[in-house]
Structure 1
Amino acid sequence: MLVARVTGDRLSTASSGNSARSEEASEASQRRPSDDRGTRPAARMNRIIRPLRPALGAGVSEAPAAPGARKVRLSGNTAREVHGTSTLGLVAPRRHRALARRLWIPGILLCADLVAFAAAMWLISSPSLKTFGVLVVILALFQTAGLYRPRLSLSVLDDAPAIVGRALAAGAAAMVIGGLDDGVVGTTRLLTCAVFAGFTVLTRMVAYSAIRFARRHGLTRRTLLLGAGAVAGSLATNLAAHPEYGLHPDGMLDDDPLLSEDERPVPLLGGYADLNRVLLEHSVDVVIVTYGSLREPLMVPLLRACDRLACEMLFVPRLYEVHTVTRETEVLWGMPLVRMRRAPFRTGAWTAKRVSDVVISAVVLMLLAPVMLACALASRAETGSVLYRQTRVGLAGQPFTLLKFCSLRPAAELEGTTRWNIGEDERLGPVGKILRRTSLDELPQLWNVLRGDMSLVGPRPERPFFVDEFTRQFPWYTARHRVPVGLTGWAQVHGLRGDTSIADRAHFDNFYIENWSLWGDIKILVRTAGQVLRAAGR
């Protein structure tokens, strides 16, 4: 019988029978059909319903289940609660509404700027392709200056320096370029940009007045305050008194409210464990962190829950009385609020990651086809099999079948799913040692990437048994499943593979998720290639 235990932040195992087995001990069982009837219903349900818990992290989904909640057994001892008929059915409409909320103000401002440019063109010069090129440059400069960012406080005087400065800079560049051919044309473009800046100030005055009018007449966003102290009370009072900011306070959450019931300007809707329920039931659009009794360790899972449900997040700085206002700071009736950026994997840039995964994996599969054929023949000759398949946990806690070249001789199936990997195994032959040392046994996972089970870069996938074990020991472990798992990752290029710290791995994986960029993925792939080549050289 196999016994698994956690020692420190590493998982080790003890066996009462045979000697140690590696993680791939299920290879032999893959040569014959296995009876998985006991796991198929859960797998089907998991594909249908995307669970909230892996993406939310610990501390949020531990509240008592709401009426009608279903518990779905996915793997091991992990039961995930899914409220309503489908989490996807709840989250997708919220994301669509959030997108519409983010775009309607930038859309109005863009229309105002186009009207201003058309007026400047009509007054100063005739339309031309080069002039429209100048417009594109100006709009891009406006975007980099944050002039299309949805804001609570709208003021033309705040925007005027950026508008005039960037319009004149684009005009000066156009004058220099145009002056090389015709000095009159260059001067005309500069004059057009100067007039455009003046018209833009006027059209934005009208646009801001229209937005404030709409907000005062009910076009506001439902807002939840985390914390029920003096700061939250003052903020809720000011929001209710000044609807032109566009936020309507619906209530507060706090485990230990400092304000009495009579002192609260809005109702207390529950404790922090009720966040998920309150966000859904009240259709909350914006969450403002005012702290109250909220402590740092609980903040991260709460904020990830808000991000999962497409809520905009703002913070009251700890020492807001001495906080310096910057471009990223909102000011609400004299109180600064810091806007939390959206998680990178929620942005449009994440689409480029999937496109690059498909293109690169397809190209590499074709280029390395001869190498993979040689590996397959060698594996077949040594172990009697080519591939072995193993269930791993991927995006949002959903299981998938991971592929690898066989590198071990046969063993019992159960050991492969519950035995932690070790560096040496008596069943590892010469071919298996080469495949493992050079990571060539991982090449079939390019097919997993092409299918969409994995990404080229991301947290490495683990078996369901160990996901359950690690989740019990490290509550933040499941936050790794917010993004697709990867062929390599930030933790792996820092040497965190095999029998290394699970806590460190989870920390590095979550750091990668929070700071993702396409260039970061390229760096990880380059470093991984270097490690593979060095291993092959040894």
Structure 2
Amino acid sequence: MVRQSQSFLSQLYALTDFVFIQLVFLFSWWLKFKSGLIPYENPLPIENYALWSVVYGGIAILLSYFVNFYTPKRKKGFSYELFTIIQVYTISLLILLSFLFIFKELDISRSYLLLFLVNNMLVISFYRYMMKTTLKKLREKGYNKQFVLILGAGSVGKHFYSNLIQHPDLGYEVVGFLDDFLVKHESGFDTFKPILGKVDELEDILQKLLIDEVIIALPLNAHRKYGRIIGICEKAGVKTLIIPDYFDFLPSRPYFDNFAGIPLINVRDIPLDEFRNRFLKRAFDIIFSLAAIFITSPLLILIAIGVKLTSPGQIIFKQERVGLNRRTFMMYKFRSMRVQAENSSDKQWTTADDPRKTKFGSFLRKTSLDELPQFFNVLFGHMSVVGPRPERPYFVEQFKEEIPKYMVKHHIRPGITGWAQASGLRGDTSIEDRIKHDIFYIENWSFLFDIKIIWRTIINGFVNKNAY
């Protein structure tokens, strides 16, 4: 419905971002080296800096496209844009620093780059806010307004109308409805949005009224009428869009796939189905897990010694879990309980005062240090750093019958931490709420979302009252 206008806005945002980055470069150069407000020593010629300013602008634009920053997110406020701007421009600078190191540009002023980064974030945020506010006010005043006719005044049409009037800034106005079974005022709609007639009167309505788009919101049993409706709309030069009567079963962002020349509706849109996204996430997992293992290696050795000294048995506890595509794998943890009979723990939850735990094991669980060996699971490809937490097969079989959409979590690799855990849903918390968070993560994955979850996990700490 708004794809063409949003595509234009996306391109406009990208071009304007790049222009502003170059203007900020000039301003930062003057502020640092010409204003006399900041001390400096023997700066390089401006041409040296200008080249890397262009490179930085290219990196920022590409990264913005990669994380879908230019894709409109109507339900997100400006705070979301501000957070994304900070992340994108900071990561872009880190990438630029890597290039400077590779090309041995060691004389570029680091204090200038920091000033450049801060000014970029301030200016881009300000102009984005002003543009967003201006567009909203113009559309609310009726500029560039698009007139919409809805076919079907039942539950689907009513739901669409209710959602559309909550977004006056989009510039769409519903002129009325066509319906075969309801008459004016019977549907409970605002009297200013009447039922204008029956669906068969569409051709006459399009000739009498200025209509830009027709929304087909008819029930499934009216499917036979679609061909005639679309033919009438195309003859009148009016765009046609269809809301499927089964939209409640579709994800927040459904899309059409193509198989053997036949269009198919993909019921579960998963960004990680794309190869480039899977490659990026897997590369990050390998680098992050190697770094984590290297950094925590002294701690791993100390914990291993502690486990061995405090109770007899193996240091590493291996337990079967269900992972990607419902395949099982052995998940590693530092042993926090006394040695038990094989599989005896596979059907039991751990409780707060569980007698099976050792004192040292209780400390490991409370601080989540028992999960450090899972970075080896990440390295081996069983898990990801971020993703839904894996569960034991016994409970998976139980939950898939009790919790709606529980098995959706197995469309991606399980993680050491996840959106549910970063939101405080650990241990003895609602399984339903955790699944809702997991599905939201699966459908809205981005690289920056992973970074946000990792950062949130670190900031909130590894100690949790529900972790036992």
Provide TM-score, normalisation by structure 1.
Answer: 0.41
**Higher RCO (CA 8 Å, separation ≥ 6 residues):** 1
Provide TM-score, normalisation by structure 2.
Answer: 0.47
